[in-house]
Structure 1
Amino acid sequence: MENGAVYGQTTEENPGPARGARSALAAYFFLGRLKWHRRVLKILQLVLSLLAFICEEVVAQCTLCGGLYFFEFVSCSASLLSLLILIVYCTPVYDRVDSVKVKASDFYIMLGTGCVFLVASSIFVATHDRTSAEYAATVFGFLASFMFLFDFCTMVYEKRQESHLRKPEAAPRALTQPLTS
């Protein structure tokens, strides 16, 4: 009797992403591309910029509204950009685009967003009407801007460490002249 007739195939080669312990959306969400400290920074950036935007939206009236509107635009943009970067790092989109370009975009987005958020928070502090919602918005704005800038500094440090590890040590130079005269 032939083995194939008695014993059938009992396992599947590839069950697919929608089956097994990790099903539906959880199968497409992967946090392992970022180190834990960068992951925490990204989540803090998202939460703090979103809190700054929400607190700013609670403000009912203003006398000098230019700072408020600029802060509103920057805090909303920062929360959307940080959400976008987090989605790119944690989904299969990262595999479909060039990882070097994603990291470069993240690098410049963190620098630009951190600086503009710091400026917007400073302008809002100078022009607000001193309500508790405005104080909360500026505190969250400054904290978020510092998280963006700290993430940028972390990336600069990691780039320097990588370039230092890649740089080969200088080869010892051969002596061409005698040591004694």
Structure 2
Amino acid sequence: MENGAVYSSTTEAHPGPARGARGRLTSYFTLKRLRGPSRFLKYTQLVMSLLAFICEEIVSQCTLCGGLYFFEFVSCSAFLLSLLILIVYCTPVYDKVEPAKVKSSDFYITAGTGFVFLVASLIFVFTHDNTVSELFAIGFGFLASLAFLFDFFIMVYEKCKQPRPRKPEATTRTEPLTEPLNA
């Protein structure tokens, strides 16, 4: 019996991509697209908006509930949007969509969420009932809105730092005109 017949059914020459130390879901998750402060700010946005939402959900009663409900909507939306952006950056979805569109979407989502979260936190400040959970929710709301706005200003700074492509200058014709102008 030759060795090829013994080992051929149990060994593979080239194992698939889902084998080894980074198998299954972890092989699709990467953090290399987010660098330095952006990675830290994205995680901060996610955690702070989740903590603001959790603290707001603990509130058992309210006098003026409009601010509480608006804050609840904004904090939940901010958490879900920041989770969505992190998923797009860290999975193969980023490769399937144009990177310029992902960055543009991140830019507008971060700006809008930061501004609306700040407004919701301010409204909640004026309508809360001074319970501990409301005060923690307001604090986490302000921290989350600051993280969103700081990330937005970093994106603006990086966008301004990039060189802009120049338009080609208008060139004049060097060959002589052979046809009369009023022909």
State the match for 1:126 in structure 2.
126
State the match for 2:56 in structure 1.
56
CA RMSD of aligned residues (A): 1.7
Deviation, 1:117, is 0.1
Partners in 2 of 1:103 and 1:82 — Cα distance?
13
Deviation, 1:163, is 2.4
Q: SS at the partner of 1:163?
A: coil
Deviation, 1:36, is 2.2
1:104-136 Cα distance to aligned partner (Å, 9 max, x none): 000000000000000000000000000000000
Deviation, 1:162, is 1.5
Letter in 2 for 1:115: F
Distance 1:158 1:16, change over 3 A: farther
1:115-166 Cα distance to aligned partner (Å, 9 max, x none): 00000000000000000000000000000000000000011111111126x6
State the match for 1:23 in structure 2.
23
Larger Rg over CA atoms: 2
Please list every run of 5 or more consecutive structure 2 residues that lacks an aligned counterpart in the other structure: 1-7, 167-183
- Kindly report which structure 2 residues correspond to 1:138-153, keeping only aligned pairs within 5 A, or say none: 138-153=138-153
Task: Work out whether 1:103 is the aligned partner of 2:103.
Answer: yes
Q: SS at the partner of 2:32?
A: coil
- Kindly report which structure 2 residues correspond to 1:59-70, keeping only aligned pairs within 5 A, or say none: 59-70=59-70
1:12-51 Cα distance to aligned partner (Å, 9 max, x none): 2xx3331122111110000000112111100000000000
Q: Which runs of 4+ in 1 moved over 6 A?
A: none
Letter in 1 for 2:72: E
Partners in 2 of 1:114 and 1:63 — Cα distance?
26
What's the % identity of the aligned pairs? 69
Q: SS at the partner of 1:112?
A: helix
State the match for 1:154 in structure 2.
154
Partners in 1 of 2:110 and 2:128 — Cα distance?
26
Letter in 2 for 1:93: V
Partners in 1 of 2:17 and 2:127 — Cα distance?
52
Please list every run of 5 or more consecutive structure 1 residues that lacks an aligned counterpart in the other structure: 1-7, 168-181
State the match for 1:4 in structure 2.
none
User: TM-score scaled by structure 2?
Assistant: 0.82
State the match for 2:37 in structure 1.
37
Q: SS at the partner of 2:102?
A: helix
Q: Which moved more, 1:19-28 or 1:67-76?
A: 19-28
Deviation, 1:11, is 4.7
Q: How many correspondences in the alignment?
A: 157
